[in-house]
Amino acid sequence: MANRMYLIHALSSVHVGTGEGDSYVDLPLAREKVTNWPFLPGSGIKGVLSAASGGSAEGAREANGMLKAAFGTGGDDTANAGALVFSDASLVLLPLRSVYGTFAYATSPLALRRFARDLKGCGMESDAIPVLAEGAAAGQVVDGAGASVLTANNQAVVYLQDFDITVTRTADAALWATKIGGMLFGNDAAAIGDFKKRFLILADDVFTFFCEAGTEIATRIHIDPATGTVANGQLWTEESLPTETVLGGLVWCDKVYHRSTDYSPDALLAAYCKGTKTLQIGGKATVGRGRVTMRFVAAGEGNHE
């Protein structure tokens, strides 16, 4: 089965919600039921990519056979889902405010294990995953430039938001930092270097806490134009993934839902799932939410395509 991996890198905060919430957050993020980690639904990702590929114009899919085969089309008698299948995008890296180094790209052994499973699903190798004690963290030393910027004076402690966490430096963390940095930034050595200096693996329980408490909560209001004050009942809160969040998933061609046999799975993936794309995903686009880059990676094509 032809497939490849995609990474979504948030260039601004991202709000992909589930409607009205039942807690203090009026418009919460979509979260996985079991882990309670934020995620991006594959259906929304497919729709955004379809629109960016020209599928938003009326009649565009019917007029373009390849677009129709890839993303499907509506209709009472000829509706189909299209050949491209997108998994949900799972959380890989969550940016966390740090006393030193400004912020950390944080992940966990469980997040890396799920990421490694997707890598193997695409025929790509993964690295060993560090085993961490409860409440601990693992960092790494950057070749040539020296130590991580998340610690002061080479100490074994990182200060994330209001917490201090003991950190050890491991070769496994360095390998993961290099691999993910290459997927995100391609041949940009400076960006990869900055990324590696901020890469951090947290214990699963600590990472889960930050997934629940480390997102952005914005208070929004609506001004009544007649009075110049807040309209009655128009005060609410929105939850968003912060800028620099990274999520990943898989895309494949399960079956070509089209009468024509001109479009192979490899041709559809090459046409629509290749390279780097800048997209807007989720809600609140008029206030700058949802600007992301989507990067595709496949086995045998290097770290970044």
pLDDT of residue 147: 67
Domain ranges of the chain: 1-16+42-87+244-305, 93-214
pLDDT of residue 300: 59
pLDDT tens, residue by residue, 193-233: 999 999 999 999 999 999 999 999 988 887 878 888 778 77
| Spatial contact of 156 and 166, defined as CB atoms under 8 Å apart | yes
pLDDT tens, residue by residue, 242-255: 999 999 999 998 76
pLDDT of residue 302: 46
Q: What whole-number distance in Å separates Cα of residue 2 and Cα of residue 24?
A: 44
pTM of the model: 0.89
Residues of the chain with pLDDT under 50: 141-146, 258-260, 302-305
